[in-house]
């Protein structure tokens, strides 16, 4: 296409005998439409470590200065779209629309949608501590009981101390005779 700008076109009708030629100028102003970029889909975690710049996650080269809308009413603070946190937002898929208003009403506004899948952060629970007297009997412990009640299930246990204890069943770890 033609670059944005002002273009002049002269129309001339040749004169006849005693009448001079007549001219008229058609001036055309070509405006560029706004560019909101291209829609995109991303995934983030709701653990506070995922602070994102919304505009940088659209595809293409969107114009700056547009406005963001929270299409699904998540309550995410869009006051600074360069630094948006999804901490505490429930897991799910949400749409945010970026709209760039046309400088000239002859061109339509442009918009693109950023679809964000928010994943629930894993929760290993809070650290726990206990002192147990190893009297050589009835020292079978449930390691999971040393975590907070809200810990997710399905995690893996590792013997960081290299004790050699069998932790294949973390709900029944036998400390009998361990020194």
The pLDDT score that the predictor gives to residue 10 is 98
The pLDDT score that the predictor gives to residue 136 is 64
pLDDT in tens, the chain (179 residues): 899 999 999 999 999 989 999 999 999 999 999 999 999 999 999 887 879 999 999 999 999 999 999 999 999 999 999 999 999 899 999 999 999 999 889 999 999 999 999 998 888 988 888 877 766 666 788 898 888 888 888 899 999 999 889 999 999 988 775 55
How far is it, in rounded angstroms, from Cα 107 to Cα 90? 38
Phi-psi region of 73 (alpha: psi -120 to 50; beta: other; left: phi over 0): left
The pLDDT score that the predictor gives to residue 123 is 87
Residue for token digits 């659209």? Answer: 58
The pLDDT score that the predictor gives to residue 129 is 85
Phi and psi at 29, nearest 5°, equal: -105, 120
For the segment 95-127, what is each residue's pLDDT rounded down to a tens digit? Answer: 999 999 998 899 999 999 999 999 988 889 888
The pLDDT score that the predictor gives to residue 174 is 86
Nearest to 78 by CA among 60, 102, 55: 55
How far is it, in rounded angstroms, from Cα 52 to Cα 75? 15
How far is it, in rounded angstroms, from Cα 175 to Cα 164? 10
């Amino acid at each position: 296409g033609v670059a944005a700008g002002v273009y002049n076109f002269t129309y001339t009708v040749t004169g006849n005998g005693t009448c001079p030629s007549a001219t008229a100028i058609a001036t055309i102003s070509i405006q560029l439409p706004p560019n909101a970029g291209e829609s995109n889909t991303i995934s983030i975690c709701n653990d506070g470590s995922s602070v994102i710049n919304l505009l940088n996650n659209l595809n293409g080269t969107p114009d700056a200065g547009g406005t963001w809308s929270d299409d699904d009413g998540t309550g995410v603070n869009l006051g600074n779209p360069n630094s948006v946190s999804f901490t505490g937002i429930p897991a799910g898929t949400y749409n945010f629309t970026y709209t760039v208003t046309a400088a000239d009403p002859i061109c339509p506004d442009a918009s693109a949608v950023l679809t964000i899948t928010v994943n629930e952060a894993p929760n290993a629970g809070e650290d726990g501590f206990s002192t147990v007297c190893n009297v050589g009997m009835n020292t079978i412990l449930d390691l999971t009981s040393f975590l907070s009640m809200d810990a997710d299930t399905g995690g893996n246990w590792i013997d960081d101390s290299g004790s050699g204890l069998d932790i294949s069943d973390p709900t029944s770890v036998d400390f009998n005779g361990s020194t």
